[in-house]
Structure 1
């Protein structure tokens, strides 16, 4: 699978750091396309190990491995470049992520983890956190950086990032396994939905975060200190999150129907007109629907939700969102 990339790729800029290497954006002259390059100036054996893990993986939520090059004392790994924004940056821009969207992205991440954990031997990522999740413009999630990934019970050295890593990873006494990734997944969702870094503002069992009960129940079970008390497989976590989404959809539909029925009375009695910002959000939602065509647009849904949050007493946003859900089945 490896190919000689010498002379074909030009490094453009540094994108960040991952594991033991630095990540660069590069231009592939041969293919006339961008690519991501992870450069190891030292720890070359770790780089080769990561390359061997990557070349065995094939999933739509994992960047494709393209090859490696050893030259002038450093090792370069070439991977598919995913244009988008990290969840860490998304949180920085928006402070936190709504529960429903967090659940949707969480299910996408669980699909990737399910693929990794079902391999033989299973691939344990060991470093799930917002900076290792990339969201594309179409709302598709990618899991990146496999520098700390292990195959099965491959050693018990300290792995992961403080705040996200499971207790058994940080004390160096236990082995990282599927339940360790589930713990990191839970802490990542906690950061997404609250905006709080788990290493700086840890989860408090007795605190009311404003989650739905179902969502809080899933989150609590993911981050139990004792791994035997956590979910045992990501399939169980995924079922829990899907139940949360189904219940939320039912609540939205019920609220929308009630407001639609009340709307006729409101308009007849001279109900206030839409505020400009409200109308703009609705217009943006319709625009995103139109641009998406036959595809379901999460961005359109978000604009409808923002409009509903801004003017909760008005029916239009609920009504249009309900119709959009109905049209999508």
Structure 2
């Protein structure tokens, strides 16, 4: 063991001991010439005696990869062997999961791609470098959000015979990493390798997060046979694949895999959002039989590069749209038919994949599979980072998730960056779609002036799109500019729009004129004809409003109850339905919908107030009070909360006999409401009513 302050090779000053890794003791040291922190790792005794270690170490020194630490030196001092590598700042994934819980697919998939690249790099070296101890504790999440795979076992570079002498990380090491069957049974406490074989039983368990999964508690014959022939054979590239798969399993579920491999529920049994492709890759990585896994990092990287092809929706959609894809391909390849050079052939193939991916992404968006769509869009961007179409798809995806702030922020960054090239007229027109979607986001947020500006900008980029004029007219109407709105709608009608847009235009004209019955009829027809998600969403909003203005809550409720079961139903529709129930005085159903809206991320003040009112109307005063007290914490500047608390307290006191009443709490709420009300500058009749109630309490000597 080396001491704190000791200087190795006149270069590395030991600062402190960090711990013990899979290959030996680890120290943090200072590189005195470069003035940076490094890691000095003392290699365990079992790795000593390797012939020509210094010359062989040149393999490690040549390593240079974004997701691996740099190896600075390989030292032999007084019979001890040390490696010197980068000190990687950040938090390892074991601590990250323990601190934050399991992580969502979008983050983990990005890390998985990075780690697959690192393994591909290591496994393609000559000789192949086997990490030998991949686990969450050996993967650092750096401050910039990227991943670094640390602490690979250097002895595995030099001597294949050492591949049976590696350390074991329970839950993350594959069966072949155990030296022999006796060691496996002893370390895992396994007593049923041949017990009850073929007697597979399943039990349902619940993890710490409340998610249920199925546990296979008894080994089956096939698993037993795989263990018999696999344990003790020694590790190779496929062992790294298993360990990384187990690590991803842990990070995605928060559940550490068991070394009783038959007890690990497939990741598909967990209640987490995971694409079909990602699930398939992890299942293959964690196959017990090494022959059934990806055979090396290169194969794993290829799987992640083409992850979307593993989704059944992609395969079926590609088959259904083969003719459409062929025609699209012809458009891309027109004019280059005589070019057969390898580089141009590659570009053709990439363009075909790029278009196919965006077609699939659009299908996923239409079916409400927004996470899957995001993966595919990112893959398309990776292939063609300067093409505008993928940025349009991502803006549309954000719009359909109702992340309207996200639409605006993303759209502004994409347009103003710019993140894409605008080389042709078609590029310019496509960029108009991004601005158009930004306009719709502003529209949904009821910021109509900004919506008008965006629609106007979109029209400047593409004067041939009738949808732009249609929605421009709607925003103008919302601003009160009815004359220009009608002119704009007339322009849109002349542009050869489909039936859905025509019905929508007719509906908007009727709406502007105040003929809500006719507007409702035409919005209904627009929804029947259209497959455009924006038309559907806009029609739902207007149609619900039309029924509301007509006081036809029965029709409004029937329509919305049916709509919210659709795959593309918006979050807003839940709130529309809650309001319809509220207006119809169906307070129990209204409360259920308001709560559902809040649970799905609705943080609006009005939603909380309405939920409290529902409980009040149902006589559940304590529930109403709890909602208001929570609302007061989140919206301390809103007088309405304290106003309602004062009224609620008054109701509670009215239920008591005169001699038991105490209106001091009500008065405290009133005083807080009065101060905030005066600061707000609002005009509110209820505050006058409340003031009179307080005065009556004072007159009755319940308040001094």
* Distance across 1 between alignment mates of 2:241 and 2:47: 29
Does residue 142 in structure 1 map to residue 148 in structure 2? yes
Q: Is the 8 A contact 2:13 2:30 kept in 1?
A: yes
Does residue 312 in structure 1 map to residue 601 in structure 2? yes
Structure 2 SS opposite 1:217: helix
Tell me what 1:229 maps to.
Answer: 292
* Distance across 2 between alignment mates of 1:7 and 1:148: 23
Rate the CA distance shift 1:7–1:124 in 2: closer, same or farther, 3 A.
closer
Q: Which has the higher contact order (CA 8 A, sep 6+)?
A: 1
Tell me what 2:135 maps to.
Answer: 129
Tell me what 2:14 maps to.
Answer: 11
Tell me what 1:22 maps to.
Answer: 25
Structure 2 SS opposite 1:22: strand
* Distance across 2 between alignment mates of 1:46 and 1:197: 36
Post-superposition offset of 1:91: 1.3
* Distance across 2 between alignment mates of 1:167 and 1:252: 42
Across the two proteins, how many residue pairs are aligned to each other?
273
Does residue 208 in structure 1 map to residue 497 in structure 2? no
* Distance across 1 between alignment mates of 2:118 and 2:302: 14
Q: How does 1:46-65 map to 2 (within 5 A)?
A: 48=53, 51=57, 53-65=59-71
Match of 2:374 among 238, 245, 248: 248
**Structure 2: stretches of 5+ with no match in the other structure:** 1-6, 179-229, 312-370, 378-392, 405-439, 448-540, 542-597, 605-704
Rate the CA distance shift 1:101–1:69 in 2: closer, same or farther, 3 A.
same
Q: Which has the larger radius of gyration?
A: 2
Post-superposition offset of 1:73: 4.8
Rate the CA distance shift 1:34–1:186 in 2: closer, same or farther, 3 A.
same
Post-superposition offset of 1:28: 2.3
**Structure 1: stretches of 5+ with no match in the other structure:** 270-308, 316-329
Tell me what 1:68 maps to.
Answer: 74
Match of 1:164 among 158, 172, 178: 172
Rate the CA distance shift 1:54–1:80 in 2: closer, same or farther, 3 A.
same
Post-superposition offset of 1:108: 0.3
* Distance across 1 between alignment mates of 2:126 and 2:17: 34
Q: Is the 8 A contact 2:88 2:142 kept in 1?
A: yes
* Distance across 1 between alignment mates of 2:158 and 2:81: 25
Q: Is the 8 A contact 1:62 1:112 kept in 2?
A: yes
Q: Deviations over 1:128-176 (max 9, x none)?
A: 1111111211122111112266359923525442211222223543242
Rate the CA distance shift 1:212–1:20 in 2: closer, same or farther, 3 A.
closer
Rate the CA distance shift 1:168–1:266 in 2: closer, same or farther, 3 A.
same
Q: Deviations over 1:34-84 (max 9, x none)?
A: 111112474461785894652342222221221233334533322222222
Does residue 218 in structure 1 map to residue 284 in structure 2? no
* Distance across 2 between alignment mates of 1:26 and 1:79: 10
* Distance across 1 between alignment mates of 2:49 and 2:135: 20
* Distance across 1 between alignment mates of 2:82 and 2:158: 26
* Distance across 2 between alignment mates of 1:267 and 1:91: 40
Structure 1 SS opposite 2:291: helix
Tell me what 2:37 maps to.
Answer: 34
Post-superposition offset of 1:109: 0.3
* Distance across 2 between alignment mates of 1:152 and 1:68: 13
TM-score scaled to structure 1, two decimals? Answer: 0.70
* Distance across 1 between alignment mates of 2:45 and 2:239: 28
TM-score scaled to structure 2, two decimals? Answer: 0.35
Match of 2:257 among 198, 214, 238: 198
Q: Is the 8 A contact 2:258 2:264 kept in 1?
A: no
Moved more, 185-194 or 79-88: 79-88
* Distance across 2 between alignment mates of 1:146 and 1:129: 11
Structure 1 SS opposite 2:288: coil
